[in-house]
Amino acid sequence: MSLAVLAKLPKLLDPEIRDKNLRALGWRAKEAIWSITRPAMPDPVFVIGCSRSGTTVTFETIAASGDFLHFDFEIPQLWNGLHGPLNNGWDSEAATADNARPEHRDRVLAYFYARLGAGPVLDKTCINTLRVPYLHALFPQARFVFIQRDGRDNVSSMMDGWRMGRTDGGFGLAQFFGPSPEPVAINGGEFREWHFFLPPGWREFNHASLEEVCAFQWTTANRLALDAARAIPPEQWIGLRYEDIFERPVDMFREAFERLEVPFDAQTAQRCANLVSRPTSIVKGAPQKQKWKEHNPGAVERILPMIAPLMREMGYDPDD
């Protein structure tokens, strides 16, 4: 036995590594089965929205219905592996209909089938907010649940996320892509990598303030989603407001469930009624309204001119 093989033995015998390798082999086998048998699978339902806009609580509420197969985590590696910074010249994490390929659809369905089984899939991966035309080209019958949030609160929450991360780690992108191909010195060098997602035009903000970067991310994500929505059949686009979690959570989700053709029972209604007191799985604490007035008032006021036009278009009053 060679020294190289002997050196690998401890890893090969490690139960955790062995189980991980066996799972991967099982997934590959099931993906091969899908490619041969092509079992019928409906187009997915995508929960989308800018980071920190309420996508997690929306996803968890719909997933609790039990009507969808789903992961309990985001899968940007899958989507970026099909089209993303490492194979598009670090352009961004956005994708257009022109980037869609038949093999991409096959890869996604095989991935879902191997890990979740055959059935309707609910996916919540925030970068898909930048990819609606691409997803619609791959999955013409897919439905999109888009949640929006007041830009001031959303930008403030993103600033907190950049600085504090999440309960189970940070939002930095170097863990997925490695070092940026160009120097990043956001907020005077406080940040050397981008967090949350990489929007088109990111290079122009590599030396901007944190509030400008978050305002740019919020504006870009919502702009791309709303522009793409014009080409989506109305029955396949479900628009929600973060603020309704506080003002009318039961009615909001009842309407969403009806449009998704999912039963809305008394237990679900009770869950929705208590959403404000439920912490999400991603960030610490329960959802909050007008958070920006306590956390980042000066910074948000500085970038208000950047976000005010789109806020008005989305039905918010930036002067209230």
CB 43 within 8 A of CB 120: no
Question: Over the stretch 9-64, which tens digit does the pLDDT of each residue have?
Answer: 565 556 777 677 788 788 889 999 888 999 989 999 999 999 999 999 999 999 99
pTM metric for this prediction: 0.90
Domain range list for the chain: 42-313
Question: Over the stretch 142-190, which tens digit does the pLDDT of each residue have?
Answer: 999 999 999 999 999 999 999 988 766 789 999 999 999 999 999 999 9
Question: Over the stretch 231-286, which tens digit does the pLDDT of each residue have?
Answer: 999 999 999 999 999 999 999 999 999 999 999 999 999 999 998 775 554 444 55
- Is the pLDDT at 137 greater than 90? The verdict is yes
Residues 196, 161: Cα–Cα separation, whole Å: 8
Task: Please report the DSSP string for 63-93 in residue order.
Answer: HTTS-SB--SS--HHHHHHHSSTTTTTT--S
The fold for domain 42-313 equals Rossmann fold (3.40.50)
